[in-house]
Amino acid sequence: MATYKQIKQVAYDANMQLPKLGLVTFTFGNVSVVDRSLGVFAIKPSGIPYDALSTEKIVVVDFDGTVVEGKLRPSSDTQTHAILYKNWEDIGSIVHTHSTYATAWAQAQRDIPIFGTTHADHLAGDVPCAPPMSDKMIEGNYEFETGVQIMNCFKERNLDYREVEMVLVGNHAPFAWGKTPSSAVYNAAVLEEIAKMAHLTLQINPAAVRLKESLIKKHFERKHGPDSYYGQ
């Protein structure tokens, strides 16, 4: 069984990947890492710049978002992470950023269309954009309701969070997740790249069309299908 110190270290390492990958500016993002055997997750503290972050400053909370170790307030997005961990049991880590291109698509309230094979290597469909939250949700427990909005989007679209590991929240920003911290950070970086590619595609050709199904199937299944052959 892991210790709080160990999951704090893993969470710190994952958080420090965000500025290295150009996914955050100032304090605009966070990574959390769950340990289900301990019933807790570790998350970046609220409002701490990345160059001032340390393993000791990482906060450990339970699935209700209550601090169990740490002297600082956890990320303001903690309740969003908590509800996703509670309901999606195969998630090991969650990343939230305000990366430029993915956030621009969220602000435009648009799914990111699957235009090319880079997108299809990671996802067999468009990146979903959940609708902007209702006034009632915003005025209530906002961060908790953000998680509800994400889950509602997946339910309404009949999406599986184990297959679609990224989402945009309308008017807000992207979230990504994975079974491990490294895969969650990877998915956040991939999301930003395909958001940028889609944006440039539409600038070059505003009438660009969706990737045809045969190419989607080929590229997704060669990495993720039962007979996948990509990699070693």
Supply the residues annotated as catalytic. Answer: 121, 230
DSSP reduced 3-state for 31: strand
Residue 170 neighbours by CB distance under 10 Å:
18
* Best CA proximity match to 176, nearest among 231, 106, 74: 106
Q: Which residues of 17-38 are buried (b: 16+ CB within 10 A; e: fewer)?
A: bbbebebbeebebbbbbbbeeb
Question: Residue 59 pairs with which residues in a beta bridge?
Answer: 43
Question: CA 201 to CA 207: how far, in whole Å?
Answer: 9
Candidates 134, 128, 217, 110; CA nearest to 176 is: 128
Q: Could you tell me the two tokens for 18?
A: 């965000």
Q: Is the CA virtual torsion 116, 122, 128, 133 positive or negative?
A: negative
Residue 95 three-state SS: strand
| Main-chain dihedrals φ then ψ at residue 218, nearest 5 degrees | -60, -50
Assigned token pair, 90: 């195969």
Comparing CA positions, the residue from 126, 117, 77, 115 lying closest to residue 200 is: 115
